[in-house]
Amino acid sequence: MIRAGLLSEEVDPADRRARLLTITKEGKKILQQAERLAQETADLLFGDIPDTKQAQIEQYLKAIEARITPLLTPKP
């Protein structure tokens, strides 16, 4: 992302071993485009579904994610 110009990197003056990352103007532009696309996609998928039902769907998806995540996490 640094090479692509989306983030800038500086040495942390408080700890020269650390690096500080900052989003660039171009990075903000790309982020805004991604957020807009995500919102448009959500509107297409859930636009006609009442908010209360959307909240239920979100809860179910989070529960599924919680069950799947340990299965996808590599074991040491």
8-state DSSP, 3: T
Domain boundaries, the chain: 7-72
Evaluate whether 61 touches 45 at the Cβ level (below 8 Å): no
DSSP secondary structure code for residue 14 in this structure: T
User: pLDDT at position 66, please?
Assistant: 96
The answer to whether 53 and 64 are in contact (CB under 8 A) is: no
* Residue whose pair of structure tokens reads 């006609």 in the numeric block: 48
What's the pLDDT tens digit per position in 21-52? 999 999 999 999 999 999 999 899 888 999 99
| Cα separation, 4 vs 6, whole angstroms | 6
pTM for the model = 0.62
Assess whether pLDDT exceeds 80 at residue 2: yes
What pLDDT sits at residue 27?
Answer: 96
- pLDDT of 76 reads 77
Section 41-69 average pLDDT: 93
